[in-house]
């Protein structure tokens, strides 16, 4: 039996590179895809077909991890 925190940590870890930063090559990831991992309330008011790179610019951050900390 796994705890919810462990599962979330594992999901987040799967998206990180060796430097513990979420890879920049995934700026083309769609918001609808991120909602599958982070929940339907991720980026409210943003269309599902918007790219992560567009969302980051809009929010004034440079990484997904910064965006998640901001919320």
2 in any annotated domain: no
Q: Give helix 52-59 / helix 31-38 axis angle, nearest 10°.
A: 80
64 in any annotated domain: yes
10 in any annotated domain: no
Residue with token string 């077909």? 49
What torsion do the CA atoms of 5, 9, 10, 14 make, to the nearest 10 degrees? 160
Distinct helix (H) and strand (E) counts, the chain: 4, 0
Note the pLDDT tens digit of each residue in 43-62: 999 999 999 999 999 999 99
12 in any annotated domain: no
Domain of 34 in residue numbering reads as 27-71
pTM of the model as a whole: 0.63
Residues of the chain with pLDDT under 70: 1-25
Domain count, the chain: 1
DSSP 3-20: -HHHHHHHHHHHTB-TTS
């Amino acid at each position: 039996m796994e705890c919810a925190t462990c599962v979330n940590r594992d999901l987040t870890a799967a998206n990180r590179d060796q430097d513990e930063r979420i890879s920049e090559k995934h700026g083309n990831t769609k918001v609808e895809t991120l909602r599958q991992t982070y929940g339907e309330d991720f980026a409210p008011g943003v269309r599902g077909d918007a790219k992560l790179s567009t969302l980051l610019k809009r929010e004034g951050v440079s990484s997904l991890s910064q965006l998640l900390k901001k919320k």
